């Protein structure tokens, strides 16, 4: 694959140029003065590469996160189809605050994500401002890619913050206003989404088109396909269904994308699926061993600087709460923090819809399947008999304490009888750099989402036949029968199953008005226990996995510890539709007006 490499040289070029603006009187060996930069096609490519890097890679080690990790947290934790779990209540609290709607304007995820998006926007503006008048086809393509990336940044900012400051050029001085309060160019929430769509349409002429479904290079950069997909998505958010349908159909009719076969569905979320036929755009995080680790002002950072570091910790199962972790052989040995839980209703409805489909089995595991069905290390043996667990019968596995959930205080906090599997980090995702260095690419848009967005636009514009075609493509790949009729309820369910934990659910709930479940967030957080290690206690609200204690080894109890300590939880209409502007930003900008309901 020809890689879009976030190289030390390219990134250093941009940030050294910026640094020179502030340190003109300090001689810097090997640094290009800013007045001599932004001239050539090579420098246009370097500046563009730095813009890609600013979105995908950690920011100078300042906070242990990448913009892509913040993206996942901000767009997933508020949904109704996951818990921000962990070792216990209070662990992973910066995400749990979002999950239970008890955040304030100082929330870490909100602060980092907002700041990182504007830093990425600045990097895009540098490309656009400095090369927008160039006659070079290379520079024009670089500007077009930066424009669509900037449009995507504003799609996120608008969806999450309502009317954020609209900054479409490098600002030399002054402080911006909320977009709708800008005295020179006021723009409403809807105007911003329309601008996103118009930017994509304007940039398409200068963008490359993916050569074919096997063109890996065309999956890891902004192309015509991604511009059309983003245009369609933005128009759907303003209910321009005809416009959305037309834009999304261009992606479909291009023939450059396809759903992977059902048997390869699981690979979509791991290094084996990087840049495959289904990827419309993903962030390229693959490491080039010929380039030193990115330090960016933090010596010793190395590979941590170019990956979604700590993702293995957040998403993987809580290793130290198992007698023996059942996923380690599959996952590659990384200790997880168990920061992701699955609501019982979601797993139940998903399984009722799919059964053991390709899609379901790649997404969730029932606790029985996880404890009894996955492979263990051969070192895991029954203490009394010495028999390896891998050689035991099912009845023997159910009776041995060599496996199971051994924690007696919190069990698996935030876990139901369904455990997350889709985002567990495989050993192959980490390569040779350690179990906490995730290298597989970050999905921004895949063809399955294009089909589902198209189906919605068709349903909303009275084209049920095309909607049915698109939804059935998704179902058939999953391994399910085609449907004779479809409607919005079918679309909503299929999308929730297909795109689980891919950043769609929360924004969909808001625009569909489906907020009943999130209003109850924080009122019933399960803890999953193993009766061989811990019997239920008097007064606990217990649910047995198979309906009764006699037929079950595992059970959950209901908890609500945020309420117990006096916190207000749950979605509040008129407030939680948008995030607060971070305190750190409000303190510096008196022109910025806070979103309603926030202090």
Give 319 or 198, the one with higher predicted confidence: 198
What's the pLDDT score for residue 288? 36
Mean pLDDT on 100-106:
97
Mean pLDDT on 141-158:
98
What's the pLDDT score for residue 478? 98
520 and 101 in contact (C-beta within 8 Å)? no
What's the pLDDT score for residue 428? 83
pLDDT at 24 over 50: no
Q: Is the model's pTM score more than 0.95? A: no
The 3-state secondary structure of 424-448 reads CCCHHHHCCCCCCCCCCCEEEEEHH
Query: In this predicted model, what pLDDT tens digit does every residue of 104-137 receive, in sequence order?
Result: 999 988 998 999 899 999 999 999 999 999 999 9
pLDDT at 7 over 80: no
Residues in the chain: 599
CA distance 282 to 54: 14
pLDDT at 12 over 70: no
Residue pointed to by tokens 């004779």 = 484
What's the pLDDT score for residue 430? 77
pLDDT tier, 10 (very low <50, low <70, confident <90, very high otherwise): very low
What's the pLDDT score for residue 17? 35
The HSE-up count of residue 388 (CA atoms within 13 Å, CB side) is: 7
What's the pLDDT score for residue 52? 86
- For residue 338, what are the CA distances in angstroms to 86, 316, 379, 509? 5, 6, 23, 25
pLDDT at 488 over 50: yes
Residue pointed to by tokens 């502030």 = 22
CA distance 259 to 447: 7
Query: In this predicted model, what pLDDT tens digit does every residue of 53-85 receive, in sequence order?
Result: 777 654 433 344 455 567 788 899 999 999 999
8 and 294 in contact (C-beta within 8 Å)? yes
Instruction: Give domain limits for the chain.
Output: 311-434+525-559
298 and 61 in contact (C-beta within 8 Å)? yes
Give 33 or 473, the one with higher predicted confidence: 473
């Amino acid at each position: 694959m020809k890689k879009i490499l976030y190289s030390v040289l390219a990134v250093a070029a941009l940030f050294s140029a910026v640094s020179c603006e502030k340190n003109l009187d300090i001689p810097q060996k090997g640094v290009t003065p800013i007045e001599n930069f932004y001239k050539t096609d090579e420098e246009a490519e370097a500046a563009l590469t730095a813009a890609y890097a600013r979105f995908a890679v950690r920011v100078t080690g300042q906070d242990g996160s990448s913009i892509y990790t913040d993206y996942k947290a901000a767009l997933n934790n508020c949904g109704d189809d996951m818990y921000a779990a962990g070792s216990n209540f209070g662990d992973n609290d910066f995400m749990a605050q979002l999950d239970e709607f008890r955040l304030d304007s100082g929330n870490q995820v909100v602060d980092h994500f907002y700041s990182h998006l504007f830093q990425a926007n600045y990097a895009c503006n540098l490309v656009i401002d400095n090369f927008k008048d160039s006659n070079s086809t290379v520079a024009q393509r670089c500007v077009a890619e930066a424009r669509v990336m900037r449009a995507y940044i504003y799609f996120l900012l608008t969806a999450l913050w309502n009317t954020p400051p609209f900054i479409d050029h490098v600002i030399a001085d002054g402080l911006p206003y909320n977009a709708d309060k800008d005295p020179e160019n006021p723009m409403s929430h809807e105007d911003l989404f329309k601008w996103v769509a118009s930017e994509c349409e304007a940039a398409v002429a200068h963008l490359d088109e993916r050569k074919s479904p096997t063109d890996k290079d065309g999956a890891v950069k902004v192309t015509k396909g991604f511009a059309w997909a983003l245009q369609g998505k933005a128009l759907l958010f303003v209910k321009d269904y005809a416009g959305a349908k037309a834009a999304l159909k261009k992606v479909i009719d291009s023939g450059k994308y396809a759903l992977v076969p059902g048997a390869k569905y699981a690979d979509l979320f791991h290094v084996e699926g990087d840049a495959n036929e289904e990827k419309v755009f993903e962030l390229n995080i693959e490491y080039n061993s010929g380039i030193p680790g990115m330090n960016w002002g933090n010596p010793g950072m190395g590979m941590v600087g170019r990956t979604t570091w700590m993702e293995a910790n957040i998403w993987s199962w809580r290793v130290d709460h198992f007698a023996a972790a059942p996923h380690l052989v599959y996952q590659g040995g990384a200790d997880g923090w168990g920061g992701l839980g699955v609501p019982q209703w979601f797993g139940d409805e998903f399984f009722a819809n799919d059964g053991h489909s390709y899609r379901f089995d790649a997404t969730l595991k029932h606790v029985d399947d996880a404890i009894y069905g996955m492979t263990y290390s051969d070192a895991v043996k029954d203490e009394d008999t010495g028999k390896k667990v891998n050689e035991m019968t099912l009845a023997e596995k159910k009776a041995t304490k060599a496996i199971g959930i051994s924690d007696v205080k919190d069990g698996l906090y935030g876990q139901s009888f369904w455990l997350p599997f889709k985002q567990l980090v495989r050993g192959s995702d980490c390569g040779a750099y350690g179990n906490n260095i995730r290298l597989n690419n970050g999905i921004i848009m895949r063809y399955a989402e294009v089909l589902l967005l198209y189906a919605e636009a068709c349903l909303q514009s009275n084209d049920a036949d095309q909607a049915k075609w698109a939804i059935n493509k998704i179902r058939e790949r999953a391994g399910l029968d085609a449907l004779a009729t479809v409607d919005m309820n079918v679309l909503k369910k299929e999308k929730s199953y297909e795109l689980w934990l891919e950043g769609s659910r929360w924004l969909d709930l808001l625009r569909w008005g489906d907020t009943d479940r999130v209003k109850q967030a924080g009122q019933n957080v399960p803890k999953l226990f193993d009766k061989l290690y811990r019997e239920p206690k008097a007064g606990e609200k217990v649910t047995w996995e198979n309906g009764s204690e006699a037929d079950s080894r595992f059970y959950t109890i209901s908890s609500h510890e945020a309420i117990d300590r006096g916190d207000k939880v749950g979605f509040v209409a008129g407030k939680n539709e948008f995030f607060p502007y971070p305190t750190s930003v409000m303190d510096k900008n008196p022109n910025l007006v806070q979103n309603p309901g926030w202090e």
